[in-house]
Structure formats: C-alpha cells, structure tokens
Structure 1
Amino acid sequence: MGGLVKKHYGKYPIIYSNESFYNKEMGAKFKRYYLFIANYNSRQPAIDGRGKCNIWQYSETGHLHGIGERVDLSRFMNGTTIKDLML
C-alpha cells in the first residue's frame, strides 16, 4: 500500500504507532517511512532497526491556552521539519 501512496503523492505515508507495538509488530518492514511514535515516558523512543523516529508524541495531557480539554504534545526529531512531510 505504501508503494501506491508513494507513486501517487511522491511520498511514503507517515506511520503512527506507540513504541512497543512498532518494535514488536512492524519493525524493519517500514524503514523508508516517516515514523510518528507515541511514548509518554521521559525518554525518546528507541526504534528497533533504525534507532530514531521523526515525530515524538511525548504527552497526551498537554494544555494550550483557549482549549478546555487536554491535548497531545509532539515534537519533530532528528532534523525532521514540517517541509519534509508536506506534499
């Protein structure tokens, strides 16, 4: 499926997962893809077979002025920028 997305849009899709599931179930099959990994520990996610992710969702209990609910907090990692992800 990723090949079809790449052919149509010129980019591979972004894979979103938690660290444990990605390492146990997905791993090396998706090395070409940008990884958006949820891990609410105080350390960066460790990704088997490649070491690092592109986006780290580090909290699900963030606060933003003007929003009454808790929000997810994420950050770009390892030199990844929004331009890398744009079509």
Structure 2
Amino acid sequence: VLDIEDMSNVQNKASLRKGLKNWIAIIEDHYGVKPIIYSGEAFYRDILKPDSYFEEYPRVWIANYNRVNAPRISWDFWQYSDRFPVDGIKTLVDGNVFQGSQHDFEALLIP
C-alpha cells in the first residue's frame, strides 16, 4: 500500500505524481500487482486525480471521517473512522470497509 496524504515542500504536483508513478511501476514489476493507493479523499481528488493515470487507478483506499454515506470518488476501501471500538482491543482502531465480495478481496492477495 502506498500511503500518500501530504504535498512535499520541495516538489510540485507534477513532480510528485511522476515520482509516485515511478514507485508504483517498481512495485508492480517486483510483485506483479499494482499496489493499493491510500489517501485522504480531498488529497486524492485535488492532487492525484487531475492526472489521468490516477483518474482510472484500479485500487484506491480512501480515508474520509466526515460522516458521509461514502466517499464521493471511486474507491475500493474506505476508512471511515480512526476511533472504532473493537471487543478485545483496549484502544480505538481504524474502521474500514471493502467495496466488493469476499472473492474480490481474496483476489487482491498475493499467493
């Protein structure tokens, strides 16, 4: 998973997107699958999605904790909370949902 949530102070948006595409190509070449991109909804929409490569990216995990029914952009995973209670865990954890079937999820796993 590529976690990208902030702009760098030393490069512009085009340079950032170019570096991300390079990293994704290296990971895809090594593992044989495209990595999942994790990002906040606004960052993905405003910084990455203007590039057609990211507009159609196949595996996206979006964080949006703003009490919405779902993110307003295309997503595979949605992190809807960072304060989700789980029995047996003393601290609050991230709450996530996958948009797909069990079979779809298992297809993402590397054998």
Using the size of structure 1 for normalisation, the TM-score is 0.82
CA RMSD of aligned residues (A): 1.7
Given the alignment of the two structures, is residue 36 of structure 1 paired with residue 36 of structure 2, yes or no?
no
For structure 2, which runs of at least 5 residues remain unmatched after alignment?
A: 1-22
Q: How many residues align?
A: 83
Greater share of residues in helix? 2
Q: Which has the larger radius of gyration?
A: 2
1:4-83 superposed matches below 5 A: 4-27=26-49, 28-30=52-54, 31-40=56-65, 41-47=67-73, 52-79=74-101, 81-83=104-106
The higher-RCO structure (CA 8 Å, 6+ apart) is 1
Q: Secondary structure at the match of 1:60?
A: strand
Shift of 1:26: 0.5
Identity of aligned residues (%): 34
- Cα distance in structure 1, aligned partners of 2:47 and 2:81: 23
Counterparts in 2 of 1:79 and 1:66: CA distance versus 1, 3 Å: closer
Greater share of residues in strand? 1
- Cα distance in structure 2, aligned partners of 1:78 and 1:21: 23
